[in-house]
Amino acid sequence: MMRDLRAGAGDRLELLEAAPVAPDYPHPLLFLHGAFTGAWCWAEYFLGYFAAQGFASYALSFRGHGASRGRESLMSSGIQDYVEDVFEAVGRIGRPPVLIGHSMGGFVAQKYLDDAPLPGAALLAPVPPQGLFASQLQLAFANPTLFAELNTLLSRGRASPAALQKALIAGPVETEKLADWFRHTQAESQRAIWDMTLFALPWLWRQNRVPLLWLAAENDALMPIEQMRIGAGMLGTSVEVMPGLGHAMMLDAGWQAVADRVIAWLKGLQEKT
Which is more confident, 181 or 159? 181
| pLDDT for 160 beyond 80 | no
Closest CA to 268 of 229, 208, 213: 213
Between the alpha carbon of residue 120 and those of residues 164, 175, 211, the distances in Å are 31, 36, 5
pLDDT band at 144 (very low <50, low <70, confident <90, very high): confident
The predicted model gives 94-117 an average pLDDT of: 97
215 closest CA partner among 128, 127, 123, 129:
123
Instruction: Report which secondary-structure segment, H or E, holds 214.
Output: strand 212-217
Question: Model confidence at 162, in pLDDT bands (50, 70, 90)?
Answer: confident
Residue 209 sits in a domain whose CATH number is 3.40.50.1820
At residue 120, does pLDDT exceed 60?
yes
Q: What angle do CA 87, 269, 231 make, to 5 degrees?
A: 65
Whole-angstrom distance, CA of residue 237 vs CA of residue 231 = 9
What would the mean pLDDT of 39-66 be, rounded to a whole number? Answer: 97
Strand order through the sheet with 239-242: 2-4, 15-18, 57-60, 29-32, 98-102, 121-124, 212-217, 239-242
pTM: 0.93
Q: Residue 8 pLDDT more than 50?
A: no
| Residues of the domain holding 200 | 2-272
pLDDT at site 157: 52
CA 9, 63, 38, 106 torsion: positive or negative?
negative
> For the chain, first and last CA: distance in Å?
28
Mean pLDDT over each residue of the chain, to the nearest integer: 90
Alpha carbon distance 69, 193 (integer Å): 20
Mapped onto helix, strand or coil, the DSSP state of residue 177 is helix
Residues constituting the chain = 273
Number of C-beta neighbours around residue 90 at 10 A:
20
123 within 8 A of 237, measured Cβ to Cβ:
no
Q: How far apart are CA 123 and CA 114, in angstroms?
A: 15
pLDDT of 108 > 80? The answer is yes
- Give the pLDDT band of residue 271 (cuts 50, 70, 90): confident
Domain count, the chain: 1
State how far Cα 20 lies from the chain centre: 22
Among 10-24, 67-81, 116-130, the least confident range: 10-24
Helices (H), 25-78: 40-43, 46-52
pLDDT at 134 over 90: no
Residue 182 has what pLDDT?
87
Residue range 209-250, pLDDT digits in tens: 999 999 999 999 889 999 999 999 999 999 999 999 999 999
Looking at residue 24, its pLDDT comes to: 87
The residue ranking higher by pLDDT, 87 or 183, is 87
Split at pLDDT 50, 70, 90, the class of 9 is very low
pLDDT above 90 (res 86): yes
pLDDT band for 5, please (50, 70, 90 cuts): low
Region 138-146 average pLDDT = 70
pLDDT, position 113: 98
The one-character DSSP state at 97 is P
List CB contacts of 163: < 8 A, sequence separation 6 or more: 146, 149, 150, 153
Quote the CA–CA distance of 177 and 268 in Å, as a whole number. 34
pLDDT band of 193, cuts 50, 70, 90: very high
* pLDDT for the residue 135: 80
